[in-house]
Amino acid sequence: MARTTRTVSTRLAKYVEMALKAGASDAKLIPTGEVATAAWVRLRCQYGCGMYGRCLTCPPHSPTPEQTRRVLDEFSTALLIHSDGEADVCGIARTIEREAFLDGHYKAFSFHAGPCQACEECDPSAPCRNPSLARPAMEAAGIDVFATAHAAGLPLDVARTRRCPQNYYSLVLIE
């Protein structure tokens, strides 16, 4: 099994390099079993974010934690991309998802950081105007970003003020 894991890591290492070259602070390949999902995460969206119900990539339109877990279980590897705010993790994830797809990883899919920014304003009563750009936020899909980042040894703390260090994460599923 270690040989298989090493082969997969070697084969997917190019995506780590792509993320770093694009400006990510860090990027790590992690087993999808280490991506934490929890039902409480969507409550933070519903009772704490002004985008709830106003964006097709946010709850209640986004995948539930249960759906997300089922999707994660269909993959073995994820690329966790970290930015301290200097790099666009959503753009990096989108580029890597596309590159991985073109490399033959036809199931490649990404989850982004925060509400979708593809349109100036989203109309959740109509079909998405930019489905090739729109992806659910990690939190919107029930991913516990704090637990996932900590399990990967990456920084993420509650930003208590606007002067606190900012950390943003996106996730690309690659099989």
Instruction: Tell me the whole-structure pTM to 2 decimals.
Output: 0.90
Q: What is the mean pLDDT of the chain?
A: 90
Measured between alpha carbons, how far is 118 from 57 in angstroms, rounded to an integer?
Answer: 10
Residue type, 2: A
pLDDT at 1 over 70: no
pLDDT at 85 over 50: yes
Confidence of residue 40 (pLDDT cuts 50, 70, 90): very high
The residue-averaged pLDDT of 92-104 equals 97
Per-residue pLDDT, 7: 52
Burial (CB count within 10 angstroms: exposed 0-12, middle 13-18, buried 19+), residue 74: exposed
Per-residue pLDDT, 155: 86
pLDDT tens digits, 135-170: 999 999 999 999 999 999 998 877 787 777 789 999
Per-residue pLDDT, 2: 44
Place of tokens 């990883």: 105
What is the Cα 84 distance to its own chain's centre? 15
What is the Cα 165 distance to its own chain's centre? 19
- Indicate the DSSP class of residue 84: S
pLDDT at 3 over 70: no
